[in-house]
């Protein structure tokens, strides 16, 4: 049965690749070979899952989320909870220029994308998203150009307003700003370079700002490739709960197809006393936190506080001021720390912590230590269980 399923899925995978042949016609032979290997590997994995379902008694013995087994030494284990039911595959959501959204079904079955390599025909059913570029949104392009020009305005208030508006667009606008760094207005160039630095800091401080770049060309994303070019038709009819609506591509920010979304995530990691002292390095949990997510973390285990002797240990709570302070009179040495995003200030987690995320970014863990002892060795590990309830 597994061989039959694998053969069938392999044909489906190859057929999907060939259906988009114009998109890869210009690729090197090696790229095509790699793509085929990836598709075959995915098909084979799917076949194995179909052919070898878990035994009934194994399912009956499954542990509760709070008791998820730990990963092997130095490894992380992730176990997503059951996701929400799949969204209607025919429904898309259009975000318009004014921020309003329309959900419904497009009346067209395919779109065309004129690229540097030819015209691609993309079935709507294969779309993940598309975003019209500045060339397709003339009013928005003119607005962006006006703001960039005002960065060289002699009046400070005009420059300040323009900077605030460009910052609100997020780091995605950086590519367009960089096109103006050769301007003859030296003051404008100086202000634009300063703005680029602020946009970079914005991305570092809050990883939710990793938005798509605002480009000149339209960007089309499918499950198999991304293409840049010009989308046609220039307007779409959407069958929504309000009836049939006509929307011009110039008025669209993005089209998104709703996808199945995890509502909870469980993961177990090990924080090493030698590798993950906060002054030396942190553990990347590879968990992406979003604003509003509820995060619950529980930890146990111990590390040897070797500067004080091999008989002295600490748990994730630290031990008052016995081993000095990571931050004076606030976070003791040996305490488990967390931070969200690269530039976040570490905060205490201890043996148990529950919080609602106020920013987005990757969750990092580490062990706080008095700076005077941070270079020492601290054998041992903290075993950390993480639960994220997505909002």
Question: How far, in whole angstroms, is CA 20 from its chain's centroid?
Answer: 26
CATH code, domain with 352? 2.60.120.430
Q: Return the pLDDT at 10.
A: 47
pLDDT at residue 209 is higher than 70? no
174-193 per-position pLDDT tens digit = 989 999 999 999 999 999 99
Flag whether 78 is in a domain: no
Q: 164 and 296 share a domain? A: no
Q: Return the pLDDT at 42.
A: 46
Q: Return the pLDDT at 87.
A: 58
Q: Return the pLDDT at 217.
A: 94
Question: How far, in whole angstroms, is CA 116 from its chain's centroid?
Answer: 29
341, 188 in Cβ contact below 8 A? Answer: no
pLDDT at residue 145 is higher than 50? yes
251-301 per-position pLDDT tens digit = 999 998 876 556 788 999 999 999 999 999 999 998 989 889 999 999 999
Q: Return the pLDDT at 99.
A: 84
The half-sphere exposure of 92 on its side-chain side, counting CA atoms within 13 A, is 23
Across 320-331, average pLDDT: 85
Q: In what order do the strands lie in the sheet with 118-123?
A: 118-123, 110-115, 226-232, 218-222, 127-131, 252-256, 92-96, 101-106, 235-240, 243-248
Across 30-34, average pLDDT: 43
Q: What's the burial of 183, exposed, middle or buried (CB within 10 Å: 0-12/13-18/19+)?
A: middle
Across 318-333, average pLDDT: 86
Q: Return the pLDDT at 60.
A: 33
SS3 content of the chain, % helix, strand, coil (to 5): 30, 30, 35
Across 209-223, average pLDDT: 80
C-alpha–C-alpha distance, residues 100 and 238, integer Å: 14
Q: What's the burial of 223, exposed, middle or buried (CB within 10 Å: 0-12/13-18/19+)?
A: exposed
Flag whether 325 is in a domain: yes
CA distances (Å), origin 169, targets 93, 213, 259: 20, 10, 25
Domains contained in the chain, number: 4
Handedness of CA 210, 214, 215, 219 (dihedral sign): positive
Helix, strand or coil, per DSSP, at residue 52: coil
CA distances (Å), origin 236, targets 122, 124, 265: 15, 12, 37
- Name the H helices within the chain: 2-19, 21-24, 29-51, 56-60, 138-150, 156-168, 174-178, 186-205
365 token code pair: 């863990």
Q: 228 and 125 share a domain? A: yes
Q: 276 and 364 share a domain? A: yes
Q: 37 and 181 share a domain? A: no
Reported as a pLDDT band with limits 50, 70 and 90, residue 204 is low
Reported as a pLDDT band with limits 50, 70 and 90, residue 55 is very low
Strands (E), 206-263: 218-222, 226-232, 235-240, 243-248, 252-256
Q: 309 and 360 share a domain? A: yes
17 token code pair: 């690749």
C-alpha–C-alpha distance, residues 197 and 211, integer Å: 17
278, 326 in Cβ contact below 8 A? Answer: yes
pLDDT at residue 28 is higher than 60? no
**Quick one: CA torsion of 256, 258, 264, 269, rounded to 10 degrees?**
-50
Flag whether 68 is in a domain: no
Q: Return the pLDDT at 310.
A: 82
Higher pLDDT, 53 or 110: 110
151 lies in which domain range? 138-209
Flag whether 174 is in a domain: yes
Among the residue ranges 29-43, 334-348, 361-375, the one predicted with the least confidence is 29-43
Across 61-67, average pLDDT: 38
Reported as a pLDDT band with limits 50, 70 and 90, residue 231 is very high
269 token code pair: 């990691």
Q: 305 and 342 share a domain? A: yes
Q: 285 and 376 share a domain? A: yes
121-132 per-position pLDDT tens digit = 999 988 889 999
Q: 242 and 282 share a domain? A: no
Strands 92-96 and 243-248: unpaired
Q: Return the pLDDT at 200.
A: 81
Q: 178 and 226 share a domain? A: no
Flag whether 285 is in a domain: yes
Mean pLDDT of the chain: 79
Q: 142 and 200 share a domain? A: yes
Q: 145 and 128 share a domain? A: no
């Amino acid at each position: 049965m597994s061989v039959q399923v694998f053969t069938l899925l392999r044909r489906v995978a190859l057929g999907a690749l060939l259906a988009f042949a114009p998109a890869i016609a210009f690729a090197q032979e090696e790229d095509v070979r790699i793509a085929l290997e990836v598709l075959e590997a995915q098909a084979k994995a799917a076949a194995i899952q179909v052919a070898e379902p878990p035994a009934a008694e194994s399912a009956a013995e499954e542990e509760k989320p709070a008791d998820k087994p730990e990963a092997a030494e130095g490894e992380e284990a992730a176990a997503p909870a059951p996701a929400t039911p799949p969204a209607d595959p025919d429904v898309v959501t259009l975000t318009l220029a004014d921020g309003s959204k329309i959900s419904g079904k497009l009346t067209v079955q395919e779109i065309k994308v004129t690229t540097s390599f030819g015209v691609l025909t993309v079935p709507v059913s294969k779309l993940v998203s598309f975003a019209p570029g500045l060339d397709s949104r003339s009013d928005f392009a003119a607005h962006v150009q006006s703001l960039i020009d005002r960065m060289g305005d002699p009046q400070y208030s005009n420059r300040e307003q323009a900077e605030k508006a460009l910052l609100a667009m997020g780091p995605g606008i950086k590519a367009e700003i960089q096109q103006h760094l050769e301007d003859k207005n030296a003051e404008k160039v100086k202000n634009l370079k300063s703005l680029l630095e602020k946009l970079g800091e914005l991305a570092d401080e809050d990883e939710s700002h990793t938005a798509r770049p605002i480009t000149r060309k339209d960007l089309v994303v499918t499950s198999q490739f991304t293409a840049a070019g010009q989308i046609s038709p220039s307007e779409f009819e959407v069958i929504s709960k309000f009836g049939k609506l006509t929307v011009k591509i110039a008025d669209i920010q993005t089209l998104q197809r709703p996808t199945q979304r995890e509502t909870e995530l469980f993961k177990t990691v090990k924080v090493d006393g030698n590798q993950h002292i906060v002054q030396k390095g942190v553990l990347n949990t590879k968990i992406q936190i979003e604003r509003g997510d509820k995060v619950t973390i529980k930890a146990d285990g111990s590390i040897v506080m070797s500067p004080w002797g091999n008989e002295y240990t600490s748990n994730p709570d630290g031990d008052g001021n016995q081993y000095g302070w990571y931050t004076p009179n606030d976070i003791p040495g040996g305490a488990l720390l967390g931070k969200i995003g690269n530039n976040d200030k570490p905060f205490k987690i201890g043996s148990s912590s529950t919080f609602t995320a106020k920013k987005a970014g990757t969750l990092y863990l580490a062990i706080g230590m008095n700076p005077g002892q941070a270079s020492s060795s601290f054998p041992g590990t903290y075993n950390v269980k993480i639960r994220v309830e997505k909002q």
